[in-house]
Structure 1
């Protein structure tokens, strides 16, 4: 579901990234208002002030600011540089998660992280060899690193919030995130209007509204809900690896849109990423078995 976000700009190419972002999050916020209205009193009293602060920063880091930084990185340094830097998000999240109490030791995850990094390098190297990779700049690298920092912060912080807030369902947390992100989109709306490049016809606006609403429902509502559910079920060291699938499906949708087969390096990246996730799952399974064995022996 998240991979579809990469296809949306191609469907409405005449609109600026900020406009697409604002349109998506305005629709996400409106849907969140409608769905949360019947249960507002129960949810509102369950959320404390510190939770609202967390929601504000999570919405900013994981949605609003992250997308602005990614767009700036692409404009300044190109898609190649941006994809190479952001491809290391799983590595960053997994390394941070390995410091949690009871987490799988980092040394056990090194093979998985190595495969993950190799897959990211394949994707980045493929992009670097494309003709459109010219015009890279230092500012593009700065924007991409800032985007990497933002989303890594979001993934770690959001996972820990969900582990702490047992009184809120992942659905309610997702709707609250939509409300806050929608509020941020309202603030950015005047800026999105000012950066509008030229006029658009009525059919173009209709297509823009349809794409924005579709991305809001598929990626923000359902995609985020599934991500939040997963964040409660899996340790952070495994959560980081799951981000790889966004890149894989984004590439798949790109191949379908361009009507072409993956190149050699792209197929290698697919194989490395799948190997990374499978090896990570295997390590966690073995670690979980060792942790439960003493309990089983004691029961016997």
Structure 2
């Protein structure tokens, strides 16, 4: 439990970086951010695969197909939706919507995986879910009030940003559950190898997407400098940083956590990503959070600590509890 939680915390710290990327490169379209990030991830995975080649060769054709599905949904499409959402609605609204992932994943996996992981009793789980939900609401209350008070706000852009953020939630509800299925079914495989494999299958997809984007910009005579845009040094540096830290290291840490913890519990620990993203955003602004935000953070942490106290009922006990005499 302790090591699984620490790995989930490390993954959250890494993944929080993806929320500031679209803000630091606000003049770059979302497709450039998504394909650039995963192109970097794929290139970083190449030497890692060479170092781990013996384990990589043991992956079957079915494993590679599963890795491709995971990388398309949980990497490419997810970050495309998230980047576009942040650039259209600003940071607060997408962060609020993505912040519901701990609750959504916990409920989904508790309904789906009780026979494998044991059922987390709803009455014991409810307080942590309520604390997390309340914390997320408080964290975003101040930011949302600023958005509502802005006379220059473009409602249609905010609505589109919200819809894109919901799409990202769907992607990342599916990804950790499906990823945990593979990891739990292959306890003899290294989470590091599985993270590298996802990076390898990401490379051709990102190359294809980047190339198609280049062709589209040229065909439409878009006012855009390909292949690296108007700030190539910043773009390449940030994509490499996010590709290494958020994509490979974050995936590695999350895989380690997924092998150690029940899916319904590890889903709640995505709250660390929300906390990290919020901390980085305030550091970027050079501001301290207000009292409302601080209270929300405290509730988030309290919800996570409460969740760690809950132990799943073994599958047999779970069935006995819910079956009649």
> In the TM superposition, what is the alpha-carbon distance from 1:43 to its structure 2 partner?
2.0
2:295 aligns with 268
2:19 aligns with 6
Task: Point out which structure has higher relative CO (alpha carbons under 8 A, 6+ apart).
Answer: 2
Given the alignment of the two structures, is residue 25 of structure 1 paired with residue 38 of structure 2, yes or no? yes
Unmatched 5+ stretches in structure 1: 292-300
| 1:37 aligns with one of 47, 50, 56 | 50
SS at match of 2:26: coil
Given the alignment of the two structures, is residue 53 of structure 1 paired with residue 74 of structure 2, yes or no? no
| 1:135 aligns with one of 141, 154, 174 | 154
- Counterparts of 1:248-267 in structure 2, within 5 Å, are 248-267=275-294
Moved more, 248-257 or 31-40: 31-40
2:271 aligns with 244
Kept in 1, the 8 Å contact 2:19–2:91? The answer is no
- Counterparts of 1:137-216 in structure 2, within 5 Å, are 137=156, 138-193=159-214, 194-195=216-217, 197-199=223-225, 204-216=231-243
SS at match of 1:15: coil
> In the TM superposition, what is the alpha-carbon distance from 1:98 to its structure 2 partner?
1.6
Quick one: distance in 2 between partners of 1:109 and 1:54? 31
> In the TM superposition, what is the alpha-carbon distance from 1:176 to its structure 2 partner?
0.4
SS at match of 2:195: helix
Quick one: distance in 2 between partners of 1:235 and 1:87? 20
Quick one: distance in 2 between partners of 1:63 and 1:197? 27
Quick one: distance in 1 between partners of 2:229 and 2:77? 29
Kept in 2, the 8 Å contact 1:112–1:275? The answer is yes
- Report the TM-score when normalising by structure 2: 0.80
Kept in 2, the 8 Å contact 1:78–1:136? The answer is no
Moved more, 264-273 or 11-20: 11-20
1:298 aligns with none
Unmatched 5+ stretches in structure 2: 1-13, 318-325
